[in-house]
């Protein structure tokens, strides 16, 4: 288990490439899903200094707040509502350059200006979503989508964890 996170400077891609092995080491040998989700979002928040990073877990017909780092957040989100609920319903990553332009955006924090949400899919079902918010517009792109997807594969979240 890693004891310290080494925050590096460089391009976004260089930062992800340095962070991924650290997160792998952090998760190695730890079977608890919640602990691993918590450490992953803590590492992401520490490295990138985003406004908010966290998981929402599928519970019935809504997403329920899971481990996160940042200001207080919405506790429950209905399927198809806001960016998180839409990502869940559509089973696809959503990159939102300006949250005020997203129809039905749920403003958990007025400081959030852009967002990326990635569904965590196991056995063709969404079991959770990873939500990341930034105080700057246009913060997220395909680089984030690629590397965050890679990180989500490191967490063993069984389909039974949801619902």
Q: For the chain, give the percent of residues with pLDDT over 90.
A: 84
Q: Is the pLDDT of residue 2 over 60?
A: no
Q: Is the pLDDT of residue 3 over 70?
A: no
Q: Give 63-103 pLDDT, tens digit per residue.
A: 999 999 999 999 999 999 999 999 999 999 999 999 989 88
Give residue 110's pLDDT band: very low, low, confident or very high (50, 70, 90): confident
Four-way CATH pick for 12-161: 3.30.450.40, 3.40.50.1820, 2.102.10.10, 3.40.47.10: 3.30.450.40
Domain ranges of the chain: 12-161
Q: Give 32-44 pLDDT, tens digit per residue.
A: 999 999 999 999 9
Burial of residue 82 (number of CB atoms within 10 Å: 0-12, 13-18, 19+): buried
Q: Which two tokens stand for residue 23?
A: 């997160």
Q: For the chain, give the percent of residues with pLDDT over 70.
A: 96
Partner residues linked to 134 by β-bridges: 114
Q: How do 52-59 and 125-134 pair as beta strands?
A: antiparallel
Q: CA 128 from chain center: how many Å?
A: 9
Q: What is the pLDDT of residue 60?
A: 93
Q: Give 6-26 pLDDT, tens digit per residue.
A: 999 999 999 999 999 999 999
Query: What's the order of all strands across the beta sheet hosting 125-134?
Result: 76-78, 62-69, 52-59, 125-134, 114-122, 94-96
Give residue 106's pLDDT band: very low, low, confident or very high (50, 70, 90): confident
| Other C-beta atoms lying within 10 Å of the C-beta of residue 2 | 15
Q: Is the pLDDT of residue 1 over 60?
A: no
């Amino acid at each position: 288990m890693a004891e310290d996170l080494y925050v590096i400077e460089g391009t976004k891609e260089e930062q992800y490439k340095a962070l991924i092995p650290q997160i792998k080491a952090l998760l190695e040998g730890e079977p608890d899903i919640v602990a691993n989700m918590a450490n992953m979002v803590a590492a992401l928040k520490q490295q990138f200094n985003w406004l908010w990073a966290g998981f929402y877990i599928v519970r019935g017909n809504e997403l329920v707040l899971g481990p996160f780092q940042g200001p207080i957040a919405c506790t429950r989100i209905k399927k198809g509502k806001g960016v998180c609920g839409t990502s869940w319903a559509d089973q696809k990553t959503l990159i939102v350059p300006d949250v005020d332009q997203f129809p039905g955006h749920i403003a958990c924090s007025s400081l959030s200006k852009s967002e990326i949400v990635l569904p965590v899919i196991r056995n063709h079902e969404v079991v959770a979503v990873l939500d990341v918010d930034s105080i700057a517009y246009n913060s997220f792109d395909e680089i984030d989508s690629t590397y965050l997807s890679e990180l989500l594969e490191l967490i063993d979240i069984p389909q039974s964890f949801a619902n």
